[in-house]
Amino acid sequence: MNHGPRRAAAGVFTANRVKAAPVVWSEQVLRGGQVTAVVLNSGGANACTGPAGYEDTRATAEKAAAALDGHRADQVAVASTGLIGTRLPMDKLLPGVEAAARALSEDGGEQAAVAIKTTDSVHKTAVAEGEGWTVGGMAKGAGMLAPGLATMLAVLTTDADLPAADLDRALRAATRVTFDRVDSDGCMSTNDTVLLLASGASGVTPGYEEFAEAVRTVCDDLARQLVGDAEGASKDIRIDVVHAATEDDAVEAGRSIARNNLLKCAIHGEDPNWGRVLSAIGTTSAAFEPDRLNVAINGVWVCKDGAIGVDRASVDMRGREVVITADLAAGTASATLWTNDLTSAYVHENSAYAS
Amino acid sequence: MNHGPRRAAAGVFTANRVKAAPVVWSEQVLRGGQVTAVVLNSGGANACTGPAGYEDTRATAEKAAAALDGHRADQVAVASTGLIGTRLPMDKLLPGVEAAARALSEDGGEQAAVAIKTTDSVHKTAVAEGEGWTVGGMAKGAGMLAPGLATMLAVLTTDADLPAADLDRALRAATRVTFDRVDSDGCMSTNDTVLLLASGASGVTPGYEEFAEAVRTVCDDLARQLVGDAEGASKDIRIDVVHAATEDDAVEAGRSIARNNLLKCAIHGEDPNWGRVLSAIGTTSAAFEPDRLNVAINGVWVCKDGAIGVDRASVDMRGREVVITADLAAGTASATLWTNDLTSAYVHENSAYAS
């Protein structure tokens, strides 16, 4: 809940064209640029539930507005995570909204971060401080969490005083280079939601660039925590694409590498299989010449000019973090993406459940 | 080896921009429209091996041409499969080419099909008969085979008498709807090769449509065998996309479903998780309305109009083959794609090896 005095807000939602009811609802709420409260639930995504599911989301917002008297339901955002294609148990959820409203506290940030955990092993929070103002955030999820719960939900708050348009611009700029570049398993959720609420309580209006940098810092911190806590994963893989012709090229190449199942298996086996990196780059439309590509794994240039470089035996892959550097030798743009390895634990968690 | 009298040939190769040396070589050979012999090796892909690797392929073709005296090296196609980024052991390979040339036999088709196996559990051949002519084929591989050996190699032969241009047209039409629609793990090899050699020995020139149909039948049969023999897989998944606006839309939606790791895990667990099908479709640019999508799993319409349909508990997924029908409700085009489930065995085979 945002106690004000301002209630400006911005939101970024999944690009999946199949959107959960709470995403459709919250997108409408955000169009007004004002959010007084956010209700988050886990256990059910309320996706692919038809008009009835949408009414469940509306009832959730109305219940929250009533419980926080004097507030409008169309300024209550809703975020859900869990199984797709099942209705929410509204007989449990609505009393839960009332209980949560009664338990609201200014010191409740940590508790909220714990409460939104699903199969997360730790809760995730981050903070960035400005001159007299602060941006804080909490998040749950990431691909490779329990099945159907792969959704990423994040809520950022600040006591800075900025209009909704500035919040929106800062949040979009931040998510584009942070959450959007975490690609655990290539699967895009129907429910991904990132919200930013500004109370203005500090009375300070920071410069836009300074504020945007703080939002980016918090998003980056949370995104990195999501990768590090991806269940079933044994490696965090950082992919630096450098010397690309454009940033789009760098992201396309990085995403193709991040989604290559054979490479993700190889890294799980601590095998510096650079051929799979080239093979992944080769499926993209990025500008490059195959015989000018270079690849380093943990700093060792195992591929030079598209062919065999330094002996792969000299690569040490025992640490949890593995860094792949892909040099497209085509320009000056770059991008960093994060993914995880593909493990038997991932398969187990995503097959041994439901029905 | 093609004993003639004609030596017309066609080839279709990987669309990966990082191409193995034998692919670059064989593409040049095929530009001449004539192939007298094909040399296949496993153990090394000869990909990302630079100019030296290309010379190894040339030496292989020259050795074969010399061993089959009177033939030209630039009419010898070469296909390789195995680890990327290591040089071929030419001291073993060249004597092997001579030994293979000495062992050539008109009854050797079966032996050849066995010889090109890598981790295939069975060899794969297929035949289609015309009036006085025949098309035969053999293949190895498919995604989910041993790591780095995911390459698919296929050689078709016919005694029909057709010009190279007709062979090319028939082969491209066939691979587009068969091999190109098998997507075991979304990884595109640097070495995929499908060749069609015509000897004209029957003296019969069939009508183009009749011949193209026979080529398609052989490719379809081999592609289906590749899916069925994918190591590490426990399910063969057939994806029928129907009522798409265009065939391209149907293929795009089908491929997105085929590549969804969460869905592939769910099917491994015999979980009819239709939400993941919708979630996969939602990431495409195909024409559809989310609230008009229908999905059947093994014939049970578990999703109607983008929401909950028939009870998922009534889906029987115990068989090896699982059929997913995705109805985009947007037109009259359709496409069928094949994939496999994602299993711990897949992870194991693709991580516990090399280095």
The whole-number pLDDT of residue A120 equals 84
Q: Are B278 and A342 an interchain contact pair (Cβ–Cβ within 8 Å)?
A: no
CB of A218 within 8 Å of any CB in chain B? Answer: no
Of A283, A350, A351, the CB nearest to B16: A283
Supply the residues of A annotated as catalytic. 151
The answer to whether the peptide bond before residue A5 is cis (omega within 30 degrees of 0) is yes
Give the end-to-end CA distance of chain A in Å, rounded to a whole number.
36
Residue A326 DSSP SS3: strand
On the question of pLDDT at A354 being above 50, the answer is no
For residues A205-222, give the mean pLDDT.
97
Nearest C-alpha neighbor of B189 from the set B336, B12, B10: B12
**Helix (DSSP H) and strand (DSSP E) numbers for chain A:** 10, 13
B53–A276: do the CB atoms touch at under 8 Å? no
Please work out, in degrees rounded to the nearest 5, the angle formed at the alpha carbon of residue A296 by the alpha carbons of A290 and A299.
Answer: 160
Q: Where are the alpha helices (DSSP H) in chain B?
A: 21-31, 50-67, 90-102, 109-115, 164-177, 208-228, 247-258, 261-268, 274-281, 344-351
Contact B72, B178 (CB under 8 A): no
**φ/ψ of residue B11, rounded to 5:** -145, 145
> Which residues of A make up each annotated binding site for substrate?
118, 140, 151, 231, 350, 355
Closest residue on chain B to A184 (Cα): B261
ipTM of the complex: 0.88
Q: Are B23 and A288 in contact (CB under 8 A)?
A: no
Amino acid present at B297: I
Q: Does A148 score more than 50 pLDDT?
A: no
Structural domain boundaries in chain A: 8-228, 236-351
pLDDT of residue B352: 67
Ramachandran category for residue B47: left, alpha or beta (phi over 0 → left; psi -120 to 50 → alpha) = beta
- Determine the average pLDDT of the residues in A319-326: 97
Res. A144: pLDDT tops 60: no
Interface with B, mutate which of A23, A262, A277 (most B CBs under 10 A): A262
Size of interface A-B (CB pairs under 8 A): 245
pLDDT at A86 (0 to 100)? 92
Whole-angstrom Cα distance, residue A288 to residue A305?
A: 11
**Residue B339 forms contact with A (CB below 8 Å):** no
Given pLDDT bands bounded at 50, 70 and 90, which one contains residue A297?
A: very high
Considering only the beta carbons, identify the residue of B266, B307, B313 that sits closest to A351.
B266
Question: Which stretches of chain B score pLDDT less than 50?
Answer: 144-149, 354-355
A185 — contact with chain B (CB < 8 Å)? yes
Instruction: Find the catalytic residue in B49, B60, B81, B151.
Output: B151
Are A84 and B18 within 8 A, CB to CB? Answer: no
Asked if the model's pLDDT at residue A145 lies above 80, the reply is no
CA distance A33 to A7: 8
Q: For an interface test with B, which of A265, A305, A341 has the most B Cβ atoms less than 10 Å from its Cβ? A: A265
A chain contacts of residue B291, beta-carbon cutoff 8 Å? 50
List of chain A residues whose C-beta atoms are within 8 Å of the C-beta of residue B44: none
**Is it the case that residue A213 has pLDDT exceeding 80?**
yes
CA of B264 to nearest chain A CA: how many angstroms apart? 8
B87 touching chain A per CB within 8 A: yes
Instruction: Specify the DSSP class assigned to residue A40.
Output: E
Q: What is the pLDDT of residue B276?
A: 92
Per-residue pLDDT, A146: 40
Q: Per mean pLDDT, which range of A22-31, A35-44, A115-124, B95-104 is the poorest?
A: A115-124
Residue with the larger pLDDT of the pair A109 and A159: A159
pLDDT digits (tens, 9 = 90+) for A62-83: 999 999 987 899 999 999 998 8
DSSP letter string, B252-275:
HHHHHHHT-HHHHHHHHTT---HH
B257 touches chain A (CB under 8 A): no
* Nearest-angstrom CA–CA distance, B323 and A116: 36
d(CA A180, CA A166) in angstroms, rounded, equals 20
B151 given a catalytic annotation: yes
Token duo for residue A170:
């800062």
CATH number of B236-351: 3.10.20.340
Could you say which of B271, B282, B346 has the minimum Cβ distance to residue A16? Answer: B282
A261 closest CB neighbour out of B18, B47, B187: B187
Please, which residues 47-76 of chain B have a Cβ atom closer than 8 Å to chain A? Answer: 47-50, 52-53
| pLDDT confidence of residue A28 | 97
Residues 6 or more apart in contact with residue A175 via CB below 8 angstroms: A12, A194, A219
| Residue of B151, B268, B347 to mutate when probing chain A, most A C-beta within 10 A | B347
Do the Cβ atoms of B272 and A355 come within 8 Å?
Answer: yes
Give the CATH number of domain A8-228; options: 3.40.220.10, 1.10.3470.10, 3.60.70.12, 1.10.760.10.
Answer: 3.60.70.12
For A306-315, b/e burial (b = at least 16 CB within 10 A) is: bbbbeebeeb
- Residue A147 tokens read as 């099945």
Q: Do A313 and B355 touch (CB under 8 A)?
A: yes
CA distance B153 to A311: 29
pLDDT attached to residue A79: 96
Tens of pLDDT, residues B93-141? 999 999 999 999 988 889 999 998 887 889 999 999 999 999 999 999 8
How open is the CA angle B59-B27-B32, to the nearest 5 degrees? 95
- The C-alpha atoms of residue B32 and residue A2 are separated, in whole angstroms, by 73
Cα A322-A328-A329 angle, rounded to 5 deg: 130
Q: Across all residues in chain A, what is the average pLDDT?
A: 92
